[in-house]
Each structure stands twice: as C-alpha cells, then as structure tokens.
Structure 1
Amino acid sequence: MRKLWIGILITVGLVLGGCSFVEEANNTVSYVNEATSYLNEVNDFVNEVPAIASEAVNDPQTLTELESKLIDMKNEIQSFSEVQAPEITADLHQQILDYSQQAEEGIDLYLTHIEEGKFDPSILEDAELFQTLEEITTIVDEIKQLGL
C-alpha cells in the first residue's frame, strides 16, 4: 500500500511539473507575440512620423495627425510596459522597458512643444527618440532569436 501511495505522489508530481512547463511555454509564446506586435508598432511609428513631422510645419491638419501618432505611440509604450515577461526573457524585457521609458519621455517633450506652439521638425531629425525606438527593435529581434 505504501508503494502505491509513493507511486501516486510521484505521478502527481510529474504531471503537475509537466503542466508548469507547458504553461511557461505558452506564456513565452504569448510574450513573443506581444513583443512582435509592439515591434511592428514601433517600426511603423519610426517609418511614418518623420515625414508627417516635415509636413506638419505648414499644415495644421498634419500637425494634429502628428500629435495623434505621438499619443498613440505613448499609449503603446504604456500598454507594453504592463506585459509580464517570462523568466527566460526578463533581462531583455527590462531593456525594452528602459528604452521605452526614454522614448516616452521624448514623446512627452514633443507633445509639450506642439501644445505650446513651438513645434520644429528639426527636433525630430536628431532625436534620441528614434534611436531609442530602434534599440527596442534590436532587443525584440534578440528575443525572437531565442527560438521561442
């Protein structure tokens, strides 16, 4: 009887351990999908905003569009900062969050300039904002290379 209970306990332990592994794998796949979606949003922003900013100097409607793009990117950054990363990607995730924080601060600066009527597209040309966002894409690529 004692051997039966030991066998049952070992089996239960193996099953529960296996469930944990499957859950971690699912969490990792979900995280990679979220990070990829975030990367796509960042890439779109980096590719679209400079041209919009150049047009925004002479066109109030385009300036409104730029402001909207900046707000949308800020919201994306805030949403991604709430994503829980699996242990395997924790360090890379923290790097993304650090760069995202820097990018959000840059976005806040540009929004302030727009609100104060001081918008100048040259502030975007040498912007750390775009360099910071490009760093995010590099890190997300590293996550993808983990084979997850």
Structure 2
Amino acid sequence: MKKTYIAFFLASGMLLSGCSALEGVNNTLNYATEASEYANDATAFGKEVPDLAKRAVNDEQAAQELETKLEEMKVNIEEFNELEAPEIGADLHQQVVNQNNRAMEGIDLYLENIEGGKLNSEALKNNQAFQSLQEITSIIEQIKNLGN
C-alpha cells in the first residue's frame, strides 16, 4: 500500500512539473506575441506621428488627431510595461520598459504643449519620444526570438 502511495505521489509530481514546463513555454510564446504586436504599434506610431506633429503646429484638426494618437500610445506603453515577462526575457523587457519611460516623458511633453497651446517647431525638435520608440524595435526583435 505504501508503495502505491509513493508511486502515485511521484507520478503526480512528474505530471505537475511537466505541466509547469509547458505553461512556461506557453507564457513565453504569448509574451513574444504581445511584444511583437507592441513593436508593430510603436513602429507605426514612430513613422506616422512626426509628420502629423509638424502639421499640428498650424492645423487644429491635425493637433487633435495628434493628441488622440499620443493618448493611444500612452495606453499601449502602459499596457506593455505591465506585462509579466518570462524569466528568460526579463532583461529585454526591462530594456523596453526603460525606452518606454523615455518615450512617455516625450509624449507627456507633447500633450502639455498641445493642451497649453504651445506646440511649435522647437517642441518637436527636442522630443525623444520617436527615437525611443524606434529603438524599441531592435529589442523586440530579440524578444521575438524567445518564441522560436
């Protein structure tokens, strides 16, 4: 009887550890997918918004569109920063979070300028938001490889 219990507990332990490993792989793949989607959003934002920002200096409708896109990107950044990275990708995730924080500062500066009616070409030149988001793409490429 004792042997049966021991065998049962050993088999249960092995089964649970196998499930845990499979769950870890699934979490890594899910994270890589989320990171890839975020990279696509950040890349599109980085390509589209600089021209929109230039137009927004003299065009109220462009300024409103810019404000909307900036707010949306802030939400995307916050959501990505809150993702739980798998252990294998924790360092890369932290690098993206650091770049995101720099981008967030730039986005906040834009929003302050828009809301204060102070959006001008100088505000555009001194903003790191776009550069930070473009730098994220190379880090995300490394994260995508975690899923392979």
Per the shorter chain, which TM-score range? Answer: over 0.9
Q: 2:143 & 2:82 partners in 1: Cα distance?
A: 18
Q: 2:29 & 2:145 partners in 1: Cα distance?
A: 13
Identity in percent:
48
Report the counterpart of residue 127 of structure 2 in structure 1.
127
TM-score (norm 1): 0.92
Q: 2:49 & 2:20 partners in 1: Cα distance?
A: 43
Q: State whether structure 2 residue 106 is matched by structure 1 residue 91.
A: no
Aligned residues: 148
Report the counterpart of residue 108 of structure 2 in structure 1.
108
Tell me which amino acid in the other structure corresponds to 2:18.
Answer: G
Contact 1:49 1:66 in 2 (8 A): yes
Tell me which amino acid in the other structure corresponds to 2:146.
Answer: L
Q: 1:29 & 1:145 partners in 2: Cα distance?
A: 10
Tell me which amino acid in the other structure corresponds to 2:12.
Answer: V
Contact 2:99 2:133 in 1 (8 A): yes
Give 1:1-148 correspondences, 5 Å limit. 1-125=1-125, 127-148=127-148
Describe the superposition over 1:58-84 as per-residue Cα deviations: whole angstroms up to 9, x where unpaired: 211011101111111111111111111
- Name structure 2 gaps, 5 residues minimum: none
Contact 2:85 2:93 in 1 (8 A): yes
Q: 2:54 & 2:123 partners in 1: Cα distance?
A: 11
Contact 2:52 2:66 in 1 (8 A): yes
Describe the superposition over 1:73-127 as per-residue Cα deviations: whole angstroms up to 9, x where unpaired: 1111111111111111111111111111111111001111111111014433453
Q: 1:71 & 1:89 partners in 2: Cα distance?
A: 27
Q: 2:121 & 2:64 partners in 1: Cα distance?
A: 14
Tell me which amino acid in the other structure corresponds to 2:32.
Answer: V
Q: 2:125 & 2:46 partners in 1: Cα distance?
A: 11
List structure 1 runs of 4+ shifted beyond 4 angstroms.
none
Contact 1:50 1:125 in 2 (8 A): no
Q: 2:75 & 2:67 partners in 1: Cα distance?
A: 12
- Name structure 1 gaps, 5 residues minimum: none
CA RMSD of aligned residues (A): 1.5
